[in-house]
């Protein structure tokens, strides 16, 4: 998917926003200095008021967007979409073949075609379970929802759980057992392993090594321990690249034992994040934390919390900060030392900070001390153990333990230091001690620390039996003789713990598409039960735990509810052990450039590289898709004469990676950030070749950050697909006030500040339709105070509404198809701006500008106020899109949908049309859900109750930021929010009368810092 510039190609006119030449830093600075600029801005180009940005205001789609691509781009598109789709896309004809519909001979009693069923299960990432309810149509899972009864979800999900359904249907998944690339059967696999396993019995398994990812499954942990009893000399190693070694080592430093730390943010008046992105997917408990955090952000409640974020790279959590301080990762420890001293903990450290940083520190210390027992300090997983220990000590000293902070047993069933564990394994491999290596999931040949040389050891140490269990024939599978295709979690039985310890049973929604095996079944084979089923293994374990006569009732209840009662961890009483946390960072290296390694906001550690929904999901702060450029702060870029998209060379420990630059407002100076998970060689059609492999630079001693990276210009540029400058609602005449925000004090003085400039509703040439006489008038309110920019609503919308992935080249051309986007705005100083998230779906305007320009009446209004689309009428003039001030309409320039791949046919929501090429599509408030509830309520002779009907975006939102309902009902939640003083219409001055409105954002900064 790489798109280096093609020097031999005739340059196309650079009209597309992303194709424009980036503004060089000096010009940008000069322009920023001479212009006042907009109050809220989306890119540095906009802030500087560049002519390139001004040009962009004139058209939504780039000139030439309706033309076919050049041959290179077309090949990329075909590769992504699959050969069958691309051939369909090349023709004008999209008529579907006739298919027979065969009725059931004997229809299952509970199955009603057209009525979905929901099953409780759980998605596990990094060992932590996200409890889910999965929608199933005719026994095909089609949509992921959170389990609203489970305390770790409360109905919310995260992007990885939402998108996991696409992973199950991925046609690139490994589909067979293979030996040296040739297809084999399970029986052949068992036969081949029988002899070597028998031989191991004689030496008590001294040559057996099992490498797993983090295991929180009680059943699997029990199985693995049983295997270690059969083979007492065998070893169980654990490794995953995004691990919690720092957290566990920090707990050992503080308490002498591995404990899990949980936070109760609904009790916190003051929160200090030490480089912790706790509001974004991947942080254990982030779904629940987001809900609890959002609850305390209501400015009318009288107890709005205050969030301080000290961070080394701009994040969603930093964007929500009331007071944010950009700091290099290696300075965060120093900061923590000073805070500890300010809270009365003698650390002996004397770090120095700038005057501005000192002010910030003093304000934080004062606020924390003023909120003893109602504050919390959260350290980020990539900060070293000392910082975690300091955070625990501060929480203890401030009396927060038992109120906002709780300690429990570890969720991880084998809480060892994972990096050390992998090191030990590699040493054994090199020493010739390993005869049989079982890699159960994970991809260490790709993501192990570079200095360990894992893939070299795997390839060259002649381990007689190497077995890989995985969803893909990936980089590790390539180096193993045996590859066993893994069953996806939606196809297999299992169990795992949520962040609070509660065990969820993962039940399959469908029989394995490719007869895959689960880790439970592979471990059972090692224990001498080669034909044991996943169901029997999991149920068998819980039978041992719950041996009463009521087991069936217990089991059915656990499956139904989605968790096992009584498994939630209770709080542990632990006391702080020592307060000697080691030295602060040496001042001598203060000038050397720091490099931060972070899990990618979209593809995580690389395990989701082949998930097109996640690849195309704009990253929260940069809106980059399909890539992982090097993030550099504006000041540093200026010093080095770098522009966005310039190629640079990163040199660290004698290794080099060349990658493009992205200038990121708010990034700390003298520091760069790279995201892991890209540069895959064997990911699948979507993931292979996308981005740059940063694992090559990552060493075991410095997994998250280190100083001393050498950066040089590599020459040339590289095209990035960021949607940040797209679908802008500004005009050439100037910025429009899309975002409205105020400080708490300002809001209290002038609660209606957000409503200024709105045109009176009566000002219209058209005779108003009497919506108030209809039983329902649908409307939505989005609370910007609650929205944390997690992107979950985008993926949920994509899944619910069968929205296509288009690929990087198409995103570059502005052709991405998301019906809902989350705009990121910045405000103020480019080196430390405030940031705001604004989700923008179709506004369902009562005076819809799109409808009056459609020559064929394809977009019309319903009596309930929906701006409907009739796809069959649409002839693709795109006048509607042109006339939409919100830029929320998406045009199928090509046949983006894959109409041929059987797996994708099974995945789609049967209640939603799959759109062909040449039509305009957009959000309609999930009209299919409205229709279903209308049918149900009419059958029961009642009205749709407030709250029973949720749009997909609303249902998935962990922050409860989206409220949908009947605005004709004055008691509905949405009506109450629309009556709130903060409620305002986006571009309300145009008198479009949008049914979707926003609640302005209120921040609660420390007045001492504001002055
Ligand atoms: S509105 Fe969307 S981006 Fe905002 S918190 Fe909810 S799901 Fe996340």
Q: CA-to-CA distance for 642 and 664, rounded, in angstroms?
A: 12
User: How far away, in angstroms, is 794 Cα from ligand 1 center?
Assistant: 8
CA 896–ligand 1 middle distance (angstroms):
26
Distance CA 962, CA 960 (A): 6
Which tokens is 317 given?
A: 């959590």
Residue pLDDT, tens place only, 661-717: 999 999 999 999 999 999 999 999 999 999 999 999 999 999 999 999 999 999 999
* Distance from the alpha carbon of residue 279 to the mean position of ligand 1, in angstroms: 11
- What is the distance between the alpha carbons of residues 730 and 301, in angstroms, rounded to a whole number? 34
Q: What is the mean pLDDT of the chain?
A: 90
HSE at residue 129, side-chain half, CA atoms within 13 A, is: 33
Q: How much is the pLDDT for 51?
A: 59
Ligand 1 atom at minimal distance to the Cα of residue 786: 5
Q: Ligand 1: which of 160, 835, 962 to mutate, most ligand atoms within 8 Å of CB?
A: 962
How far does residue 796's CA lie from ligand 1's centre (Å)?
A: 10
Q: Closest ligand 1 atom, CA of 960?
A: 6
Q: In this structure, are strands 962-966 and 778-783 parallel, antiparallel, or unpaired? A: antiparallel
Give, using CA atoms, the residue closest to atom 5 of ligand 1.
787
Does 588 score more than 50 pLDDT?
no
Count the alpha carbons within 13 Å of 1000 in the hemisphere toward its beta carbon.
27
- pLDDT digits over 431-447, tens only? 999 999 999 999 999 99
| Cβ–Cβ under 8 Å, residues 664 and 314 | yes
Q: Which residues contact 709 (CB under 8 A, 6 or more apart)?
A: 592, 593, 594, 595, 650, 651, 652, 672, 697
Nearest ligand 1 atom to the CA of 792 is 7
pLDDT given for residue 9 in this prediction: 40
How far does residue 611's CA lie from ligand 1's centre (Å)? 20
**Given this model, what pLDDT does residue 113 score?**
85
Q: Which residues line ligand 1 (CB under 6 A)?
A: 787-793, 822, 837, 839, 956-957, 959, 961-962
| pLDDT at residue number 107 | 85
pLDDT of 351 reads 76
The mean pLDDT of 239-246, rounded to a whole number, is 97
Q: Is residue 414 very low, low, confident or very high in pLDDT (cuts 50, 70, 90)?
A: very high
| Whether the predicted pLDDT of 245 surpasses 80 | yes
| Model pTM score | 0.92
The number of the ligand 1 atom at minimal distance from the alpha carbon of 156 is 7
Residue 926 CA to ligand 1 center (angstroms) comes to: 16
Which comes out higher in pLDDT, residue 331 or 1011? Answer: 331
Q: How many residues does the chain have?
A: 1011
Do 510 and 119 meet the contact criterion of CB atoms below 8 Å apart? no
**Which residue's CA is minimally distant from atom 3 of ligand 1?**
789
pLDDT digits (tens, 9 = 90+) for 830-873: 999 999 999 999 999 999 999 999 999 999 999 999 999 999 99
**27 or 994, which is more confident:** 994
Q: Does position 744 have pLDDT exceeding 80, yes or no?
A: yes
Under 8 Å CB-to-CB from 266, ≥6 apart: which residues? 292, 295, 296
In sequence order, what are the residues at sequence separation of 6 or more whose Cβ sits closer than 8 angstroms to the Cβ of residue 443? Answer: 470, 474, 475, 476, 606, 607
d(CA 999, CA 784): 6
Q: What single string gives the DSSP state of each residue in 706-729?
A: EE--EEEEEEEEB--EE-TTSS--
Q: What is the mean pLDDT of residues 720-745?
A: 84
The pLDDT of residue 487 is 98
- Calculate how far, in angstroms, residue 182's C-alpha sits from the geometric centre of ligand 1: 45
Q: Is the pLDDT of residue 307 over 70?
A: yes
847 vs 20: which has the higher pLDDT = 847
Q: Identify the pLDDT of residue 966.
A: 98
The predicted pLDDT at position 584 comes to 60
* Ligand 1 centroid to residue 156 C-alpha, Å: 10
CA–CA distance, 815 with 811 (Å, rounded to integer): 5
Of 626, 636, 668, 630, the C-alpha closest to 651 is 630
Residue 759's pLDDT is what?
65
Q: What is the pLDDT of residue 579?
A: 64
Reported as a single tens digit per residue, the pLDDT across 925-964 is 999 999 999 999 999 999 999 999 999 999 999 999 999 9
Q: Residues 966, 967, 971, CA angle at the centre, nearest 5°?
A: 85
Per DSSP, helices labelled H in 147-239 are: 159-168, 186-202, 218-230
Q: Which atom of ligand 1 lies nearest, measured to the CA of 794?
A: 2
pLDDT value at residue 84? 36
Output the CA 175–ligand 1 centroid distance in Å: 35
Q: How many Å lie between the centroid of ligand 1 and the Cα of residue 318?
A: 15
Cα(623) to centroid of ligand 1, in Å?
A: 15
625 C-alpha to center of ligand 1: Å?
18
The per-residue pLDDT for 688 is: 95
Angle between helices 519-526 and 534-545 (to 10 degrees): 80
Q: Whose C-alpha lies nearest to ligand 1, atom 4?
A: 787
**What is the rounded distance in angstroms from the CA atom of residue 125 to the CA atom of residue 788?**
21
User: 44 pLDDT band (50/70/90 cuts)?
Assistant: low
Residues 585, 578: Cα–Cα separation, whole Å: 20
pLDDT band at 114 (very low <50, low <70, confident <90, very high): confident
Q: Which two tokens stand for residue 827?
A: 């405000």
Closest atom of ligand 1 to CA, residue 820: 2
Is the Cβ–Cβ distance between 149 and 557 less than 8 Å?
no
Q: Please name the residue whose Cα sits nearest to atom 6 of ligand 1.
A: 957
Specify the ligand 1 atom closest to the Cα of 791.
3
| Contact between 833 and 826 (Cβ < 8 Å) | yes
By most ligand atoms within 8 Å of CB, the mutation choice from 287, 295, 839, 953 for ligand 1 is: 839
Mean pLDDT score, 720-734: 81
Please tell me the predicted confidence (pLDDT) of residue 410. Answer: 96
pLDDT bin (cut points 50, 70, 90) of residue 737 is confident
Residue 217: half-sphere exposure toward Cβ, Cα within 13 Å: 30
pLDDT of 816 above 50: yes
Which protein residue's CA is at the shortest distance from atom 8 of ligand 1?
Answer: 790
Mean pLDDT of 778-798: 98
pLDDT tens per residue, range 49-98? 665 555 555 555 444 444 444 444 555 555 555 433 333 333 334 555 67
**Residue 552 pLDDT greater than 60, yes or no:** yes
pLDDT at residue 2 greater than cutoff 70: no
Which residue's CA is the closest to the ligand 1 atom numbered 2? 793
Q: Is 22 a residue whose pLDDT tops 60?
A: no
pLDDT of residue 768: 84
Q: Is 150 exposed, middle or buried (0-12, 13-18, 19+ CB in 10 A)?
A: buried
Is the pLDDT at 763 greater than 60, yes or no? yes
Q: How far apart are CA 434 and CA 234, in angstroms?
A: 9
Block residue for tokens 């957000």? 754
Q: What is the mean pLDDT of residues 517-531?
A: 96
The predicted structure's pLDDT at residue 105: 87
Q: What is the average per-residue pLDDT within 113-122?
A: 94
Atom of ligand 1 nearest to the CA of 790: 8
């Amino acid at each position: 998917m790489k798109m280096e510039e093609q020097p031999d190609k005739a340059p196309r006119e650079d009209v597309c926003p992303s194709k424009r030449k980036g503004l060089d830093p000096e010009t940008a600075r000069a322009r920023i200095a001479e212009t006042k600029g907009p109050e809220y801005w989306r890119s540095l180009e906009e802030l500087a008021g560049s002519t390139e940005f001004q040009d962009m205001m004139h058209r939504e789609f780039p000139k030439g967007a309706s033309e076919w691509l050049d041959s290179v781009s077309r090949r990329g598109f075909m590769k992504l979409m699959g050969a069958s789709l691309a051939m369909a896309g090349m023709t004008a004809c999209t008529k579907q073949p006739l298919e027979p519909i065969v009725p059931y001979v004997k229809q299952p009693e509970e199955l009603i075609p057209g009525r979905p069923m929901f099953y409780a299960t759980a998605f596990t990432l990094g060992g932590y379970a996200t409890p889910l309810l999965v929608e199933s149509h005719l026994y095909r899972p089609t949509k992921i929802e959170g389990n609203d009864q489970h305390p770790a979800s409360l109905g919310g999900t995260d992007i990885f759980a939402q998108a996991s359904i696409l992973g199950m249907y991925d046609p690139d998944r490994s589909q067979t057992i293979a030996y040296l690339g040739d297809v084999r059967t399970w029986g052949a696999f068992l036969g081949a392993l029988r002899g070597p396993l028998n031989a191991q019995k004689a030496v008590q398994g001294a040559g057996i090594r099992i490498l797993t990812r983090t295991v929180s499954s009680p059943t699997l942990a029990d199985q693995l321990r049983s295997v270690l009893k059969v083979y007492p000399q065998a070893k169980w190693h654990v490794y995953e690249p995004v691990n919690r070694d720092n957290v566990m080592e920090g707990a050992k430093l503080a308490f002498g034992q591995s404990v899990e730390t949980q936070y109760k943010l609904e009790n916190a008046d003051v929160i200090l994040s030490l480089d912790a992105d706790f509001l974004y997917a991947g942080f254990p408990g982030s779904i629940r934390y987001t809900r609890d955090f959002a609850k305390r952000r209501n400015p009318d409640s009288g107890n709005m919390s205050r969030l301080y974020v000290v961070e080394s790279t701009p994040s969603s959590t930093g964007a929500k900060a009331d007071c944010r301080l950009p700091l290099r990762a290696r300075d965060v420890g120093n900061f923590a030392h000073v805070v500890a001293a300010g809270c009365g903990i003698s650390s002996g450290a004397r770090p120095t900070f700038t005057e501005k940083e000192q002010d910030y520190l003093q304000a934080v210390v004062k606020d924390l001390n003023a909120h003893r027992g109602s504050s919390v300090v959260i350290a980020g997983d990539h900060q070293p153990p000392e910082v975690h220990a300091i955070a625990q000590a501060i929480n203890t000293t401030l009396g927060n333990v038992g109120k906002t902070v709780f300690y429990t047993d570890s969720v991880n069933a084998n809480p060892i230091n994972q990096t050390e564990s992998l090191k030990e394994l590699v040493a054994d491999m090199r020493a010739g001690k390993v005869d049989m290596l079982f890699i159960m999931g994970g991809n260490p040949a790709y993501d192990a620390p570079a200095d360990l040389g894992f893939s070299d050891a795997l390839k060259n140490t002649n381990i007689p039996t190497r077995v890989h269990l995985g969803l893909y024939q990936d980089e590790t599978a390539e180096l193993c003789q045996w590859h066993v295709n893994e069953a996806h979690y939606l196809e297999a039985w299992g169990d795992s713990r949520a962040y609070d310890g509660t065990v969820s049973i993962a039940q399959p929604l469908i029989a394995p598409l490719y007869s895959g095996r689960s880790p439970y079944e592979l471990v059972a084979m090692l224990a001498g039960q080669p034909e044991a089923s996943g169901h029997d293994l999991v149920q068998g374990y819980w039978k041992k735990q719950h041996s009463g006569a009521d087991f069936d009732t217990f089991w059915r209840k656990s499956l139904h509810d989605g968790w096992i009662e009584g498994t939630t961890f209770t709080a542990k009483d632990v006391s702080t052990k020592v307060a000697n946390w080691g030295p602060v960072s040496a001042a001598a290296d203060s000038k050397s450039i720091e490099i931060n390694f972070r899990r990618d906001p979209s593809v995580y550690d690389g395990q989701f590289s082949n998930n097109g929904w996640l690849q195309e999901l704009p990253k929260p702060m940069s809106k980059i898709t399909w890539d992982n450029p090097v993030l550099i702060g504006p000041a540093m870029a200026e010093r080095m004469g770098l522009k966005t998209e310039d190629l640079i060379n990163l040199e660290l420990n004698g290794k080099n990676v060349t990658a493009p630059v992205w200038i990121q407002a708010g990034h700390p100076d003298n520091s760069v950030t790279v995201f892991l998970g890209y540069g895959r060689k064997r990911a699948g059609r979507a993931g292979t070749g996308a981005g740059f492999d940063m694992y090559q630079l990552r060493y075991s001693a410095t997994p998250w950050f280190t100083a001393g990276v050498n950066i040089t210009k590599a020459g040339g540029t590289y095209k990035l697909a960021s949607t940040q400058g797209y679908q802008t609602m500004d005009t050439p005449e100037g910025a429009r006030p899309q975002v409205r925000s105020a400080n708490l004090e300002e809001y209290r003085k002038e609660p209606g500040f957000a409503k200024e400039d709105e045109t009176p509703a009566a000002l219209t040439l058209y005779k108003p339709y009497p919506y108030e006489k209809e039983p329902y008038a649908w409307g939505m309110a989005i609370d910007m105070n609650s929205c944390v920019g997690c992107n979950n609503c985008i993926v949920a919308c994509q899944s619910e509404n069968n929205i296509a992935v288009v690929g990087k080249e198409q995103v570059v051309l502005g052709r991405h198809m998301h019906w809902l986007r989350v705009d990121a705005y910045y405000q103020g100083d480019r080196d430390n701006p405030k940031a705001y998230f604004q989700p923008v779906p179709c506004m369902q305007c009562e005076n819809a500008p799109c409808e009056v320009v459609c020559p064929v009446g394809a977009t019309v209004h319903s009596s309930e106020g929906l701006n409907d689309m009739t796809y069959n009428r649409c002839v693709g003039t795109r006048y509607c899109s042109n006339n939409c001030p919100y830029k929320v309409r998406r045009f199928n320039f090509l046949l983006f949908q894959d109409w041929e791949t059987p797996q994708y046919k099974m995945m789609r929501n049967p209640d939603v049309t799959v759109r062909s090429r040449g039509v305009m599509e957009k959000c309609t408030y999930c009209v299919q859900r409205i229709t279903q509830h209308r049918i149900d309520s009419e059958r029961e002779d009642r009205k749709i109750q407030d709250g029973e009907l949720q749009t997909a975006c609303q249902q998935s939102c962990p922050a409860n930021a989206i409220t949908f309902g009947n605005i004709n009902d004055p008691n509905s939640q949405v009506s109450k929010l629309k009556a709130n003083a903060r409620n305002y219409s986006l571009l309300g001055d145009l008198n479009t009368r949008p049914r979707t409105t926003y609640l302005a954002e209120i921040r609660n900064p420390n007045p001492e810092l504001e002055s």
